[in-house]
Chains A and B, each alone.
Chain A
């Protein structure tokens, strides 16, 4: 008799869905449902009301939309109100992340203000400030790596790759990459290492790519 009561108690507790169990289930859901990394296709980009970019960090991806274009800065916003702000293709500020890039000093001397073709061998120095780290001085040198053919939005584009080798003071070094469309000179893709991110940030300017592809003769709209 006693064993029967015991057994029914065991069985009923197995059916339960109490507070703790719910939390465990939810956690399993979150862990297994990692976002499938799928790039949007051309039709999606063309149909988008706003200029969009694709941002990849480590194995995570998000689409961000252009919120403001002001005083030479392009400001993109993510679904959870994070901002990434570009000046001449360089990430100069972020907002809404756990750690943010607050400011980049000496931007008036940023070589990227000029056309990429004259940047071979150019050097400059700048300072980055984030929420958590103290200021970081970087010495950088540009180098033109040459032509690269890229496949974006299922089409091929001829680009010129520009690399920027950056030596932060007292640390190792990293390289930023900038791919410029050969014909129009617009920046269509970049891989950078802003101080607030531990991993590299790869940004593809999807709407710009779409516009460039639209004017190439022979390409369908």
Chain B
């Protein structure tokens, strides 16, 4: 791009629009999630909102992340630091680290506000953990001009003050007392406690001052702090009040709680639907009135132009009378419509004029995934703004590529080396030694493609940042009756800065029009080596896919790059992939089979993709390993966030980075991290999202 054009592009592109003032910008409560201070409200943040909060309340410190997955569902995860207590009575185990707790909150909106009715939501706080703040509540909010009024009823922590009698207790005696303790080893959802015990009413008021960044809040809470984990909290007043000051995407909170404690906090907000980075890609080429004459058509020129102007790596070209067929892989543009538009424009300029139809076969790992057919004259009219049809999806047709072998006139060497670098980040939270242990670095991957369909790949993990020297023990002290398939994680991580992460052979093939298969063998992941295979049935543009995988693996020796332990297992799953219609842009994966520790069960993974491409998901693995066998946490669960690379880049790019967040990894319900997932490889089979320029 020459200097002038670059300047020109930057000139127009950098004056980002200021967004319409968000009238529904509700502030976060001390524990995270939309609310006042101690009490939640029925309000919801706009869909896709993500807020990171820090609140300091003297005895407690809360770090929380709240995300509005859908307009009616708010989820919050939280780490609590109880300053006044130690993590354990054993300094040799946990040093002087203070008591910590993790918690998850969920809030569901029952109905929206209208002229006469308030907005009503129900919620569960701190469930599925050791429940320092476990509560259930129902709350209503109504707005009158600049005032937002709230009224709610809470059970558990929110209701411990007992300022009213529990209505359920009136109905049944079983609800009058709240059972203590936790089921399993913590980490289970303790249904048997819900709505039992004392209940309280709480209320709140928010006032939007005439000065836009400032809001005042006051609440009457139903808690009495007598059963708090941080012992000795004195409550001089049931009224808490304070303010919120907004500056850009930051919210500053200041409050006076319990009549004696000054609390402060800060929240950083963003929205996964609207986040984007301006792109400085070369603009799409303008399309000429006609293609090239037959004499001037050159396959090498076409291939080069497809790469430089459309990010398309061509592996095959065939010109057959009035049809031009190309196959290859899109390397640069993540959105399907953008990719097809660019490829089409290059074809319109560099294909022979007599061609009336373009067929583009999109591949991944040398397997044909989707085929797109463009009628040359329709597309040319669209690209030259001579037709009034918009968008580009009105001029292309997606279909399943044929099984027939095409007699390619031009193919690249379909064997050769490939390289890639990817950063990685892994974190373990809530360890006894140090609260937050992390490891980050680069995964360098080198692969060699033999003539299809075989390839060999090696991945080296280079650690650049880590704080594992904080580990006191190498062996997990909690005894587990299950085979230790994942609890040696520290040993694997601390062996060396440079380790061989993967080294495997991969075979893949499309068996039928809609059936893909692969097999792999070698060192498949950090902790396991072996052989395995997968089959996936995935029709084009379908909401469903079904697959099955089976693997025979042996555990890798954590003291060596290549040796193996004796432990071996046959692990495999049947998986159903479903993109439900009623949730926008979500994927539910249900896998049933045998886990690494030889336990049998079902894994449920739910992921939501936002407009920016960011994917937030959670999974739970239910297995027949009992809570006792499993250990602390009772069952495997975790969250993950996948961020597309081009959100952090000025150029379009494909590829995503994943940040997993596993509260505590034990041995039950653990799946093998297979080196290649066919569902990801065939992602072009899903119906493309509407792309709005």
Contact surface of A with B, Cβ cutoff 8 Å? 2-3, 6, 9-10, 12-21, 23-24, 26-27, 30-31, 33, 35, 55, 57, 60-62, 78-80, 82, 96-99, 131-134, 196-198
- Taking a contact as CB atoms under 8 Å apart, the answer to whether A9 and B651 are in contact is no
Q: How distant is the Cα of A97 from the Cα of B16 in the complex, in angstroms?
A: 9
Does chain A have a CB within 8 A of B406? no
Q: Assess whether B11 is in contact with A80, with CB atoms less than 8 Å apart.
A: yes
Give Cα A198–Cα B498 distance, bound, in whole angstroms.
Answer: 48
Interface stretch (choices B30-38, B102-110, B416-424, B664-672) = B416-424
Evaluate contact between B15 and A97: CB separation under 8 angstroms.
Answer: yes
- Would B17 and A23 count as touching, CB distance under 8 A? no
Does B653 interact with chain A (Cβ within 8 Å)? yes
Q: Which residues of A contact B628 (CB under 8 A)?
A: none
Question: What A residues does B445 contact at CB under 8 A?
Answer: 13
Q: Which residues of A contact B655 (CB under 8 A)?
A: 19-20
Q: Mark B1-23, 1 if CB is under 8 A from A, else 0.
A: 00111111111111111111000
Q: Is the CB of B446 within 8 A of A98?
A: no
Tell me, rounded to whole Å, the shortest Cβ–Cβ distance linking A3 to chain B. 8
Nearest-neighbour CB distance to chain A for B681, whole angstroms, equals 16
- What's the Cα separation between A78 and B12 when bound, in Å? 9
B460 interface residue, CB < 8 Å from A?
Answer: yes
B639 interface residue (CB < 8 Å to A): no
A24 touches B649 (CB 8 A): yes
Quick check: is B650 within 8 A (CB to CB) of the other chain? yes
Q: Look across to chain A and name the residue whose beta carbon is closest to the beta carbon of B19.
A: A132
A to B contact number (C-beta, < 8 Å): 128
A200 CB to closest chain B CB (Å) equals 12
Q: Identify 9 residue pairs between A and B in the complex whose beta-carbon atoms are under 8 Å apart, listed by A's number.
A: A18-B419, A20-B645, A20-B653, A24-B649, A27-B650, A35-B3, A79-B5, A98-B12, A133-B20
Q: Are the CB atoms of B650 and A98 closer together than 8 Å? A: no
Contacts of A80 in B (CB 8 A): 5, 8-9, 11-13
C-alpha gap A115/B11 in the complex (Å): 32
The reply to whether A14 and B11 form a contact with Cβ atoms under 8 Å apart is no
| Cβ of B23 to closest chain A Cβ, rounded Å | 12
The yes or no answer to B677 lying at the interface (CB within 8 A) is no
Measured between beta carbons, the chain A residues less than 8 angstroms from B444 are 9-10, 13-14, 16
**Most interface-central of B11, B421, B500, B649 (chain A CB within 10 A):** B11
Say yes or no: B561 contacts A9, CB within 8 Å.
Answer: no
Tell me whether B11 and A78 are in contact (CB under 8 A).
yes
Which residue of A has the minimal Cβ distance to B653? Answer: A23
Query: Which residues of A are found within 8 Å of B500, using beta-carbon distances?
Result: 6, 9
| Interface residue? B219 (CB, 8 A) | no
Chain B neighbourhood of A35, CB < 8 A? 3, 6-7, 10
Residue B436 is within 8 A (CB to CB) of chain A in the complex:
no
CB distance from B522 to the nearest CB of A (A): 13
Which residue from B18, B420, B458 sits with its C-beta under 8 Å from A19? B420
Q: Which 7 A-B pairs have the closest CB atoms?
A: A16-B419, A79-B8, A13-B444, A99-B17, A80-B8, A18-B420, A23-B653
B562 interface hit (Cβ, 8 Å): yes
Most buried by A among B5, B7, B654: B7
Known pairs A10-B460, A82-B8, A99-B17; list 12 more (Cβ under 8 Å): A9-B458, A13-B419, A13-B445, A21-B421, A23-B649, A26-B650, A35-B3, A35-B6, A57-B11, A62-B7, A80-B9, A80-B11
The reply to whether B420 and A197 contact each other, CB–CB distance below 8 Å, is no
Which of B5, B12, B332, B645 is the most central at the interface, judged by chain A CB atoms within 10 Å of its CB? B12
- CA of A75 to CA of B650 in the docked complex: distance in angstroms? 30
Which residue of chain B has its CB nearest to the CB of A64? B11
Complex interface: chain B residues within 8 A of A61 (CB): 7
Which of chain B's residues 431-460 have a Cβ closer than 8 Å to chain A?
Answer: 444-446, 458, 460
Q: B419, A197: Cβ atoms under 8 Å?
A: no
Q: When the two chains form their complex, are residues B654 and A2 in contact, meaning their CB atoms are under 8 A apart?
A: no
Q: Does A19 lie within 8 Å of B331, measured CB to CB? A: yes
Rounded to whole Å, the gap between the CB of A197 and the closest CB of chain B is 6
CB neighbours (8 Å) of B81 from chain A are none
In the complex, what residues of B have CB within 8 A of residue A23's CB?
A: 645-646, 649, 651, 653
Contact of B17 among A18, A60, A78, A131 (CB under 8 A): A131
Q: Is B410 an interface residue (CB 8 A)?
A: no
Task: Judge if B280 is at the interface, Cβ distance under 8 Å.
Answer: yes
For the complex, what is the distance from the CA of A97 to the CA of B422, rounded to whole Å?
35
**B contacts, CB < 8 Å to A:** 3-20, 280, 331-332, 417-422, 444-446, 458, 460, 462, 498, 500, 561-562, 645-646, 649-651, 653-655
A182 to chain B, nearest CB (A): 32
Q: A10-B444, A18-B419, A27-B650 are in contact. Are A62 and B8 (CB under 8 A)?
A: yes
Contacting A21 at CB < 8 Å: which of B9, B331, B420, B498?
Answer: B420
Q: Is the beta-carbon distance between B18 and A99 smaller than 8 angstroms?
A: yes
CB-nearest residue of chain B to A17: B419
Q: Please, which residues of chain B bring their CB within 8 A of the CB of A17? A: 419
Q: Given A20-B421, A26-B651, A79-B7, does the pair A99, B12 have CB atoms closer than 8 Å? A: no
Known contacts A6-B561, A62-B7, A82-B12; is-contact A133 B18 (Cβ 8 Å): yes
A58 nearest CB neighbor, chain B only: B14
Q: Which of B6, B332, B446 contacts A13 (CB 8 A)?
A: B446
Contacting pair B420 A20 (CB below 8 A)? yes
In the complex, what distance in Å separates the CA atom of A27 from the CA atom of B649? 6
Q: Cβ of B15 and Cβ of A57 under 8 Å apart?
A: yes
Expressed in whole angstroms, the minimum distance between the Cβ of A36 and any Cβ of chain B is: 9
Question: Which B residue sits closest to A24, measured CB to CB?
Answer: B649
A101 to chain B, nearest CB (A): 11
Inter-subunit contact A132/B651 (CB<8 Å):
no
Bound Cα distance A88, B650 (Å):
38
Select from chain B the residue with minimum beta-carbon distance to A132. Answer: B17
Q: Are A30 and B280 in contact (CB under 8 A)?
A: yes
Q: Bound state CA distance, A134 and B20, in angstroms? A: 8
Give chain A residues whose Cβ lies under 8 Å from the Cβ of B18. Answer: 99, 132-133, 198
Distance in Å: Cβ of A2 to nearest Cβ of chain B:
6
Partner of B650, one of A30, A57, A133: A30
Contact indicator A6/B7 (Cβ below 8 Å): no
Instruction: Name the B residues within 8 Å of A131 (CB-CB).
Output: 17
Q: A18-B418, A19-B654, A27-B650 are in contact. Are A196 and B3 (CB under 8 A)?
A: no
Instruction: Say whether A98 contacts B8, CB under 8 Å.
Output: no
Bound form: Cα–Cα A198–B419 in Å: 43
Query: Which of the residues B15, B646, B651 comes within 8 Å of A197, measured between beta carbons?
Result: B15
In the complex, chain A residues whose CB is within 8 Å of the CB of B446: 9, 12-13, 16
Q: Is the CB of B422 within 8 A of A20?
A: yes
Bound: A4/B19 CA distance, A:
56
Task: Give the residues in chain B near A78, CB-CB below 8 Å.
Answer: 8, 11-12
Q: Which residue of A lies closest to B5 (CB)?
A: A79
B562 and A2 contacting across the interface, CB-CB below 8 Å = yes
Given A19-B653, A62-B8, A82-B11, A12:B419 Cβ within 8 A: yes
Whole-angstrom distance from the CB of A70 to the nearest CB of chain B? 22
Bound-state CA distance A24–B420 (Å) is 12
